[in-house]
A and B are shown apart, each in its own frame.
Chain A
Amino acid sequence: MTTFLGMPRVAPQPATAPEDPLRWGPDFPAAAHETLANGQMRANLRHATHTIRDKRLRVVSELPDWEQLREAGAAVKHQTMSHLPELLVQLEEQVTARGGVVHWARDAAEANKIVTGLVRATGETEVVKVKSMATQEIGLNEHLAAEGITATETDLAELIVQLAGDMPSHILVPAIHRNRDEIRAIFAERMGDAPADLTNEPRALAMAARSHLRAKFLTAKVAISGANLAVAETGTVSVFESEGNGRMCLTLPETLITVMGIEKVVPAFRDLEIFTQLLPRSSTGERMNPYTTMWTGVTPGDGPQAFHLVLLDNGRTKALADEVGRQALHCIRCSACMNVCPVYEHAGGHAYGSVYPGPIGAILTPQLTGMGTRGATDPHDPTASLPFASSLCGACYEACPVKIDIPSALVHLRNRAVESQQRRLLPTGWEAGMRAASAVMSSGSRFAVAARAAGLGRIVAREGRIAALPFPGSLWTGVRDLPAPPAQPFRSWWHKHRADGAARPYGSPQPHGSPQPHRSPQPHRSPQPERSPRPDGSAPRDGAPGSGAEGER
């Protein structure tokens, strides 16, 4: 008999399925305020992202031609985007010629309607699903549920998210914010056929999901998948996965419906050699993913006998029209960028309020929702905050297997956000500040005056630091001190330095109250200069730090 200590709470987040999977939260700072307070999530995330990060680095460093592979991947994507309309038509012709049916969906509503119609036509009310971002993006499961069709996610992590009534927080490992205790609780509470003695052992959890899903695979007549790639040249569609659930869904049912973003097409079959190397190493840190399924139309007597390919636009054409932003369409959904992103690591995927979180989400989501493309952006549109949710550290760009320059795209989208903001009548505080700063910072003499004026900040400083400022300065001083501005701005030092014609360390010819290294009880300035490093090696005091023979004049 063990003492029952209670179960970790299963907290769905958000509580109900969002209406718009690309825009379901408040803006980033507000959402991050919530997620940053979730210590459990941050610990889970830190552990998981660091593990994947290290694995990726190991397998990437094995390849001597990794940089060339990235170049090749980027080049194929660039070529694809330059010829997207022709390639899509070619894909349609090839899929059709090989017994598949191609459908075109302008947006989420149209795609959902097409898929619902196709499932209805089979007379089935239950479908199995292979993990797919495109169907997440259009909220397909919720739509099907409203139409009386039950969709069961068969990827382990996706199943966890679905059972918890959760939203994914990562595109590859959507339950990354959950630990095994939470997962055990979710299974025990929601799976229906979980063993009574289920433990939090990874193997036990996986086996419980396996037997739960096995029954679904063997009875399902319809499967729905996404696609990692589709080859225009041959009409071949491909899914890369690790668990084998995909293979089950793609081969056992009678009808297969694949929803694919139009940007996933590649020109030639040979291009696959690039992505079969780039994708697994970047995403799961594996040399090769365990299951790569490829199918070309319909093969009599083998696999699904009805195949439908739904080509989804949903904002992609709009993104394609933006010559800087369009590189977001190069994304192969590997998730390397979120695994290395410090903002993602701390704030978590839910802070982005979109099924596409992390750095790529920050440039993809606002483009899919059409931020700033025409007229003014609604200032309350949370996706307009996403391009600002980055410190521009560049770790994402470095990790991206197809070399998407995410920092540059972020800056570009910030500009788009600002420009659309400027089309509104009322200038914001930022606006006014930036205009004023532009005037000051475009002239050496105006700037020199401002720099001297900044010295007035010393009035509020105590012991060389400013510990509290009113808003918006409080955003800084909430957790950090601000050094007091120097009494002597650089130009004053420089002029003195020139006049002296000798090397004078920055400090002060006149005592100026610059911070004293370690003399707390001392009054703020010491009039007598220290003439050289002191024999005990301690720092010279305020005044003329180590100014040697120059000393004070």
Chain B
Amino acid sequence: MRVALFATCINEAMFPQAPAATARLLERLGHEVVFPESQACCGQMHVNTGYFREAVPVIRNHVRAFAPVLDGEWDAVVGPSGSCVGSVRHQQAMVARREGEDRLAREAELVAARTYELSELLVDVLGLTDVGAWFPHSATYHPTCHSLRMIKVGDKPLRLLRAVEGIDLVELPEAQACCGFGGTFSLKNSETSAAMVQEKVRHVVSTGAEVLVAGDYSCLMNMAGSLSRQGTGVHAAHLAEVLASTREEPWSPAVLPVDRTPATAVPAAEAGR
């Protein structure tokens, strides 16, 4: 199948390893990945901060960039982010309509209907749970709020993770609690956000896992930032990175922490089998 990659703006600028891993994973599974160069952002930040009018050109650009999926140029659009796919699905048309852009709204709805979050594409569209990944680490999974409650991916990410060879998946206590990111909430209400992420980090550390996995780098940026500041030595990885990891091309940490964990980055125990 031909899949258009919706990299998301934050991944493009800050966490390219997530869309890169998504592309490599899908290619490894025998699919063709296309990156529409005119894409930028889905508009979520503007919408969630209340700037609907300013969001419209952003939404229009996104819809235009991915509109070829409607003509059969690609079979689907995939985004490695629950909240960006959630915004495409639940906000773009609503905002366009509110700003009197009915045609844009209708087109946004059509594109949204062909847009999938990574775990949805793998499980629902491609019918896979075992993608042949190898990830010899202990990991704990945080279900991000928008993947859980907005687009309702359910246990798809966990089913994918459980099928990964070598992974030691540890359950995260109070997993469904928000990490406190919330986009501009983390700045507008920075103290409340800080209290929330500190609680989340406490639970992550309590699992003893080496790697915190989630399907959204925005939330991971928040949690990894706090994990790093507190010197916990816990790494962060996107679900796509875990699923793209193989014996031939194993995962290595690309974000925080970079220098605080002499022993935990990659365990020796599972190695070299």
Residues of chain A touching chain B, judged by Cβ–Cβ distance below 8 Å, are 28-29, 32-33, 36, 342-343, 346-347, 351, 387-395, 397-398, 407-408, 411, 413-419, 430, 434-435, 437-448, 450-451, 454, 463-465, 467, 472, 475-476, 478-483, 485-486, 488-491, 493-494, 497, 503-507, 514-520, 532-540, 545-548
CB-CB nearest in chain A for B220: A483
Separation in Å of the A33 CB from the closest CB of chain B?
A: 6
The distance in angstroms between the C-alpha atoms of A411 and B252, with both chains bound, is 38
Question: Chain B contacts of A346 at CB under 8 A?
Answer: 192, 195-196, 199
Q: B48-56, B71-79, B101-109, B121-129: which one contacts chain A?
A: B48-56
Q: With A438-B54, A532-B248, A533-B247 known to touch, is A485 a contact of B13 (CB < 8 Å)?
A: yes
Q: Which of B16, B49, B189 contacts A414 (CB 8 A)?
A: B49
**Are the C-beta atoms of A467 and B229 separated by less than 8 Å?**
yes
Minimal Cβ-Cβ distance residue in B for A341: B178
Residues of B within 8 A of A440 (CB): 40
**Contacts of A478 on B, CB cut-off 8 Å?**
190, 194
Expressed in whole angstroms, the Cα–Cα distance for A465 and B228 within the complex equals: 9
Is B224 within 8 A of A391, CB to CB? no
How many Å lie between the Cα of A134 and that of B63 in the bound state? 46
When C-beta atoms are compared, the residue in chain A nearest to B17 turns out to be A506
A390 touches B185 (CB 8 A): yes
Q: Chain A: which residue is nearest B60 at the CB level?
A: A442
| A430-B49, A450-B13, A481-B228 known; A444 vs B252 contact (CB < 8 Å) | no
A537-B251 Cα distance, complex, nearest whole Å: 11
Closest A residue to B52 by beta carbon equals: A415
**A343-B192 CB under 8 A given contacts A441-B58, A503-B28:** yes
Please state if B259 and A519 are interface contacts (CB–CB under 8 Å).
yes
A393 engages B54 (CB within 8 Å) = no
List the A side residues contacting B49 at CB < 8 Å.
414, 418, 430, 434
- Taking A394-B150, A464-B256, A482-B221 as known contacts, 19 extra A-B pairs with beta carbons closer than 8 A to each other, sorted by chain A number, are A28-B189, A395-B176, A415-B51, A417-B50, A441-B43, A441-B45, A446-B40, A447-B12, A450-B13, A478-B190, A480-B194, A480-B225, A480-B226, A486-B15, A506-B16, A514-B254, A515-B259, A520-B258, A540-B250
B16 touches A503 (CB 8 A): no
A327 CB to nearest chain B CB (Å): 14
Q: Is B61 in the interface zone, CB < 8 Å from A? A: yes
Q: Which of A388, A490, A520 contacts B259 (CB 8 A)?
A: A520
**Chain A residues within an 8 Å CB radius of B180:** 342, 391
Contact with A along B175-192 (1 / 0, CB 8 A): 011101111111111111
- Which of B12, B36, B176, B258 lies in contact with A463, CB distance below 8 A? B258
The smallest beta-carbon distance between A28 and chain B, in angstroms, is 7
In Å, the complex CA distance between A509 and B58 comes to 32
Is B7 located at the chain interface by the 8 A CB criterion?
A: yes
* Bound form: Cα–Cα A413–B47 in Å: 11
Q: B155 at interface (Cβ–Cβ under 8 A)?
A: no
For B, the interface residue count at a CB cutoff of 8 angstroms equals 107
Contact A411 B47 (CB under 8 A): yes
Q: How many Å lie between the Cα of A490 and that of B13 in the bound state?
A: 7
Which residues of A have CB within 8 Å of B199?
342, 346
Is B185's CB under 8 angstroms from A506's CB? no
* Chain B 252-273 near chain A by CB (<8 Å), digits 1 or 0: 1111111111111111111110
Closest approach, in angstroms, between the C-beta of B99 and any C-beta of chain A? 10
Whether A395 and B249, one on each chain, are in contact in the complex, defined by CB atoms closer than 8 angstroms, is no
Q: Which residues of A contact B270 (CB under 8 A)?
A: 537
Contacts A347-B192, A518-B264 given; does A438 touch B14 at CB 8 Å: no
Point out the residues of chain B lying under 8 angstroms from A517, CB to CB.
235, 252-253, 258, 261, 265-266
Q: Which of B19-27, B112-120, B156-164 contacts A (4 or more CB under 8 A)?
A: B19-27
Q: Are B40 and A441 within 8 A (Cβ)?
A: yes
Chain B residues within 8 Å of A434, by CB: 46, 49, 51, 54
Bound-state Cα–Cα, A411 to B196, Å = 20
When the two chains form their complex, are residues A389 and B225 in contact, meaning their CB atoms are under 8 A apart?
Answer: no
How far does the alpha carbon of A491 sit from the alpha carbon of B20 in the complex, in Å? Answer: 10
Do the beta carbons of B255 and A515 come within 8 Å of each other? yes
The CA of A440 and the CA of B55, in the complex, are separated in Å by 11
Contact (Cβ within 8 A) B244 A393: no
Q: Which residues of B contact A442 (CB under 8 A)?
A: 40-41, 57-58, 60-61
Closest to B261 in A: A518
Determine whether B215 belongs to the interface, using a CB cutoff of 8 Å to chain A. Answer: no
Can you show 8 pairs from A to B with CB atoms below 8 A apart? A347-B192, A408-B90, A411-B47, A438-B51, A479-B190, A490-B13, A503-B249, A506-B21
Complex contact A548–B16 (CB within 8 A)? no
Q: Are B38 and A443 in contact (CB under 8 A)?
A: yes
**In the complex the two chains form, is B178's CB within 8 Å of A393's CB?**
yes
Is B222 an interface residue when CB atoms closer than 8 A count as contact?
yes
Q: How far is the CB of B86 from chain A (nearest CB, A)?
A: 9
User: B91, B255, B272: which has the most chain A beta carbons within 10 Å?
Assistant: B255
- Report, nearest first, the 10 A-B pairs whose CB atoms are least far apart: A537-B271, A391-B182, A480-B225, A414-B50, A506-B20, A520-B259, A515-B258, A393-B178, A394-B149, A490-B16
| Contact status of A465 and B256, CB under 8 A, knowing A393-B149, A430-B49 | yes
Chain A residue with the shortest CB-CB distance to B50? A414
Complex interface: chain B residues within 8 A of A493 (CB): 16, 20
Shortest B225–chain A CB gap in Å is 3
Residues of A within 8 A of B91 (CB): 411
Pair B13/A537 contact, Cβ less than 8 Å: no
Q: Nearest Cβ in chain B — how far from A527, in angstroms?
A: 17
B264 and A537 contacting across the interface, CB-CB below 8 Å: no
A520–B263 alpha-carbon span in the complex (Å)? 12
Q: Which chain A residues border B69 with CB–CB below 8 Å?
A: none
Q: Is the CB of B195 within 8 A of A490?
A: no
Cβ contacts under 8 Å, B247 to chain A = 533
Q: Which residue of A lies closest to B244 (CB)?
A: A505
- For A441, the chain B residues whose CB sits under 8 A away are 9, 40-41, 43, 45-46, 58, 61
Chain A residue nearest in CB terms to B190: A475
- Contact check, A342 vs B196: say whether CB atoms are below 8 A apart: yes
B193:A391 contact, CB within 8 angstroms = yes
From the candidates B19, B176, B182, name the one contacting A490 in the complex (CB within 8 A).
B19
Least CB distance from B40 to A in Å reads 4
Q: Does B207 count as interface, using CB distance less than 8 angstroms?
A: no
* A458 vs chain B, min Cβ distance (A): 11
Q: In whole Å, how far is A324's beta carbon from the nearest beta carbon of chain B?
A: 9
B263 contacts across to A, CB distance below 8 A:
518
Q: Is the CB of B271 within 8 A of A463?
A: no
A-chain residues with CB within 8 Å of residue B148 when the two chains form the complex:
394
Please report the C-alpha to C-alpha distance between residue A515 and residue B229 in the assembled complex, in whole angstroms.
Answer: 15
B81 within 8 Å of A (CB atoms): no
How far does the alpha carbon of A493 sit from the alpha carbon of B5 in the complex, in Å?
A: 14
Kindly list chain B residues whose C-beta atoms are within 8 Å of the C-beta of A476: 186-187, 190, 225
Supposing A36-B191, A535-B271 touch, asked if A447 and B41 sit within 8 A by C-beta, the answer is yes
Tell whether A537 pairs with B39 under 8 Å between CB atoms, given A486-B16, A546-B252: no
In the assembled complex, how far is the CB of residue A472 from the closest CB belonging to chain B, in whole angstroms?
6
